[in-house]
Amino acid sequence: MQELLPQEQINAWKERLAGHHHPMELAVDVLRAIQDHHGWVPDTGVELAAELLGTTPLRVEELATFYDKIYRRPVGRWVIHVCDSICCWSRGAEEVVGVLREQLGIGFGETSADGRFTLLPTCCLGACGEAPAMMIGLTTYGHLTAERIGEILAAHRREVGP
Amino acid sequence: MSNYPQVLFKNRRPGETVFLDAYVAAGGYAGLKKALKTMTPGEVTATVKAAGLRGRGGAGFVTGLKWSFFPADHPGEKYLVCNGDEMEPGTYKDRQLLLADPHQLIEGMLIAAYALQVPVGYIFLRYAYEDCARVVEGALAEARRAGYLGPNILGSGFSCELRLHRSAGRYILGEETALLNGLEGRRPNPRSKPPFPAQKGLFGKPTTVNNVETLANVPHILVHGADWYQGLALTEKSAGTKLFGLSGHLNRTPCVELPLGVPLGEVITEHGGGVRQGRAFKACLPGGASTPFLTRAHWDLPMDFDALAAAHSRLGTACVTVFDEGTCMVAATLNLNRFFARESCGWCTPCRDGLAMVSWLLEKIETGRGVQDDIAMLQDQLRNISGRSFCALAEGAMGPVEALLRLFMDELEDHVKKGRCPFR
């Protein structure tokens, strides 16, 4: 398993948090940093965040389980958040979900056999003028069609490699 | 197409962001200079109040009035928070504003910070707006280098720091007290009010929370004056322009700046290019997922706070989602309600259990398993949930359900009578 956070980043967080008037203000940032490096936030990640923030694992867990972009279970290299809110729904989100399920061979909450993609539904992505839309990582893709979805997935497959 | 004055989008260019040099060349930071060099904090608040600016985040409270409740003369820590959570389905205007012209927000926040005499402000952005976060970070660095941000701004003696907070996704963060809990690193359930944030907000200190678009209006009000701002609107009691984010079954779905009071029909036909595939207009959400539907009967309705309230709806964020004649309104309401049920923070029973119950009832009716009693039970839930939840999430969630029962009862009964969705 990949380390939770490189030691130099742990040191940098310690330094930054030590000088911070309200360390918990950075709780989401610390969780996001662990997730960015490790892929998801395991129990040991919650414990590390608590140690860095000077709080209890329970208080960190309260946050980690609240936000839908913090993953408390293993996910694929890329998490696909596909919007099922009203604007995307009105412009074919159900069909988009069908295409994704078919092309990836998985349902919601599952990870593709090659470990590349996890598929999750999400609320509005704020791309209502480009509906239907999805987000992979931190990038939003709008005006989705079956063809465009195929191209986007292929580009991600190329980036990750075999 | 009608050629209305552009205020917030005056610098907008497709696919581009206006950074500092271009912003200043177009008259940017003149409002901040005017405030710091020629006005007292009280005069700034009075000007914003006189302009009649109302909050653009959905609630529509008078901004200057909100500021006037703030203990600006109270010494010590105080905060200004910009709410950029924007997770209401249909609403994407703040993203467009930030990507086009981020310094407008920074200047607006600095003027507000001066009026409220707060030394620290936060810009709270949702997870999905990483593109905005990067643009805002760049603009903050530019403003700091140029002396608009930080200690002793423009030699005025006033100092202010602005910090960017990236969140991790949940609709409830748009509720201002949940947002404050989120900023503090607590589980973001809403807080009990009173005390209101103006008395006890972020870290227990006086705090004002304003929406991105609200704050972006402030520099323009300072430069051009309250009368000019009021004159921008088409209806007498309204003031200013408004960003309208169009979506749904329209030929075009842009985000456009129009005067408050523009008729709904004009928004749809002129700015949205009409309903797509030549179909007829059936209904719309006038201002996000929590606003009760409007129908063809509301075609000439002026899009402003008062006219929409009189029509049993709300202007909300003025982001209009259109449905064509082929849309099943039960299915649309089910989609909306599933969103709210999923995004309930679970803190109070009417929201946590009530919205799940409403989704179950709507799904039962939509899939042809509904009976007449289910419609009566929906009406019961309307009474049980509205006005009885801890925060406004459940109240907003019931907006479209109330409108479904009021405007589309025939569709509900048709589903029950036929034992299937008549639109499928």
**B247 — pLDDT class (breaks 50, 70, 90):** very high
Q: Which of A124, A130, A135 to mutate to test the interface with B (most CBs of B within 10 A)?
A: A124
Note the pLDDT of residue A161. Answer: 56
What number of C-beta contacts closer than 8 Å exist between A and B? 130
Region of poorest pLDDT, from B49-53, B75-79, B136-140, B160-164: B75-79
Nearest-Cα distance to chain A for B306, in Å, is 25
Region of poorest pLDDT, from A48-57, A151-160, B236-245: A151-160
Q: d(Cα B258, Cα B234) in Å, to the nearest integer?
A: 10
Q: d(Cα B322, Cα B271) in Å, to the nearest integer?
A: 12
Note the pLDDT of residue B258. Answer: 98
Q: Which phi and psi (to 5°) does residue B72 adopt?
A: -60, -30
Three-state secondary structure of B392-413: HHHHHHHHHHHHHHHHCHHHHH
Q: Which phi and psi (to 5°) does residue A126 adopt?
A: 75, 30
pLDDT in tens, B23-38: 999 999 999 999 999 9
pLDDT > 70? residue B260: yes
Q: d(Cα B274, Cα B251) in Å, to the nearest integer?
A: 6
Residue type at B324 in one-letter notation: D
pLDDT > 70? residue A29: yes
Interface contact flag, B185 A125, Cβ < 8 Å: no
- Which single residue is written with the structure tokens 């969780």? A31
pLDDT in tens, B326-348: 999 999 999 999 999 999 999 99
Nearest-Cα distance to chain A for B344, in Å, is 11
- State whether residue B337 sits within 8 Å of chain A by CB: no
Residue type at B135 in one-letter notation: V
Q: Which of B335, B342, B343, B345 to mutate to test the interface with A (most CBs of A within 10 A)?
A: B335
Note the pLDDT of residue B76. Answer: 87
Note the pLDDT of residue A53. Answer: 97
Chain B contact set for A125 (CB, 8 A): 128
Nearest to B405 by CA among B370, B369, B381, B371: B381
- State whether residue A118 sits within 8 Å of chain B by CB: no
Q: What is the chain A residue with the closest CA to B130?
A: A138
pLDDT in tens, B185-201: 999 999 999 999 999 99
Residue type at A84 in one-letter notation: D
- State whether residue B168 sits within 8 Å of chain A by CB: yes
* Pairing verdict, β B321-324 and B247-248: parallel
Q: What is the chain A residue with the closest CA to B323?
A: A90
* Pairing verdict, β B120-125 and B79-84: parallel
- Which single residue is written with the structure tokens 């709780």? A27
Sign of the CA dihedral with B155 first, then B158, B164, and B170 last: negative
Please check whether residue B358 is in contact with residue B396, taking contact to mean a CB–CB distance below 8 angstroms.
Answer: no
Note the pLDDT of residue B39. Answer: 97
Sign of the CA dihedral with B270 first, then B271, B275, and B277 last: positive
Nearest to A21 by CA among B198, B194, B161: B161
- State whether residue A120 sits within 8 Å of chain B by CB: no
Interface contact flag, B321 A129, Cβ < 8 Å: no
Note the pLDDT of residue A160. Answer: 60
pLDDT in tens, A105-140: 999 999 999 999 999 999 999 999 999 999 999 999
Interface contact flag, B168 A69, Cβ < 8 Å: yes
pLDDT > 80? residue B357: yes
Contacts of B64 (CB under 8 A, 6+ apart): B45, B46, B47, B48, B49, B50, B51, B53
* Pairing verdict, β B241-245 and B120-125: unpaired
**B41-51 and B102-116 helices cross at what angle (nearest 10)?**
120
pLDDT > 60? residue B19: yes
Q: d(Cα B11, Cα B2) in Å, to the nearest integer?
A: 18
Contacts of B169 (CB under 8 A, 6+ apart): A67, A68, A69, A122, B87, B126, B127, B128
- State whether residue B285 sits within 8 Å of chain A by CB: yes
pLDDT > 70? residue A3: yes
pLDDT > 90? residue A67: yes
The chain-wide mean pLDDT, for chain A, equals 95
Q: What percent of chain B is predicted at pLDDT more than 70?
A: 100
Q: What is the chain B residue with the closest CA to A68?
A: B169
Nearest-Cα distance to chain B for A144, in Å, is 14
Q: d(Cα B284, Cα B264) in Å, to the nearest integer?
A: 10
Please check whether residue B319 is in contact with residue B92, taking contact to mean a CB–CB distance below 8 angstroms.
Answer: yes
* Pairing verdict, β B161-166 and B120-125: parallel
- State whether residue A32 sits within 8 Å of chain B by CB: yes
Chain A contact set for B339 (CB, 8 A): 84-86, 123-124
Please check whether residue A34 is in contact with residue A5, taking contact to mean a CB–CB distance below 8 angstroms.
Answer: yes
- Write the residue in A26, A29, A90 that is nearest to B323 by C-beta: A90
How far out from the chain centre does Cα B54 lie? 11
For residue A145, count other CB atoms closer than 10 A to its CB: 13
